[in-house]
Amino acid sequence: MLTGTFCCFRGIGEGAERRLWERGCLTWQAFRRLQRPVFSMPKTQSVLAQIEEAQIALRAGLADWFLNRLTPATRIRVLRQFRDAIGYIDIETTGLSTDDHVTTVALYDGSRVSVFVEGRDLPKLLAEIPRFRLLVTFNGARFDLPFLRSRFGIDLQTPHLDLMPVLRRLGFRGGQKQIEKRLGLSREGVEDTDGRQAVELWHRYQEGDTEALAALARYNARDAVNLAHLAVEAYNRSMQQYPLSVRLPRPSPVDLSFIRNALAL
């Protein structure tokens, strides 16, 4: 879809982009072949120059080039081109205030999910992040990334796509679990767990209950895995307005029963 996106170029909004699509100009290559320019000559030359730059950025795998030029609601368009190098990340904390801290972090790469635990192996997360060209979260711009920044004292340099504004644009409000329920997504293995209980599980683990840590890790992992499902759903719904079919297949289910053993409990 990125090669059919024009609203990432200076001087072209979503309205002008739709007019291009309506005229059959569905790709950057098609814009280059236009016999009669849609815009003024200076604007056409500007767009052509930006197309050249965008193609270089795409070949180089620079998701930020597009994320920085798209609105929060349209950034989902990067998903297809970068789907093989995405890290879906979700954190759990002791609460929501600035005095609270990270307890566990789940990272899903589309085939494998890992959970990192404060006091055990949380710093190893830093070695995993550089594997990805794009991180995907739900409300991560306001929650996950600031907490991780505070924990490690650094900014994660990997480009970031937050699904919350994308889903809001599509009419889905509320938290991640509310949206999952509306979309019929499974939360197998953690159906009865919520954020408040996740905090309680951490405190029980601190008191020596290793089963509580296993339950918390499964809950955290389910959030990360389901981000992949939300991302594909958001992408496919967003692309319904595009004249060409560019749907992505739904991710495969993930069994999280292995989590306890993975934590070596």
Q: Give dist(CA 124, CA 27) in Å, integer.
A: 41
In angstroms, the CA 32 to CA 45 distance is 10
pLDDT tens digit at each of 265 positions of the chain: 899 999 999 999 999 999 999 889 999 999 998 877 788 999 999 999 999 999 999 999 999 999 999 999 999 999 999 999 999 999 999 998 888 999 999 999 999 999 999 999 999 999 999 999 999 999 999 999 999 999 999 988 899 999 999 999 999 999 999 999 999 998 988 988 888 999 999 999 999 999 999 999 999 999 999 999 999 999 999 988 888 877 899 999 999 999 988 898 7
Got the DSSP string for 48-103? HHHHHHHHHHHHTT-HHHHHTTS-TTTGGGGHHHHGGGEEEEEEEES-SSTT--EE
Q: What is the pLDDT of residue 244?
A: 80
**CB-based contact 242:20 (threshold 8 Å):** no
What is the Cα–Cα distance from 137 to 156, expressed in whole angstroms? 13
CA–CA gap between residue 183 and residue 206 (Å, rounded): 35
The encoded tokens of residue 174 equal 């509320």
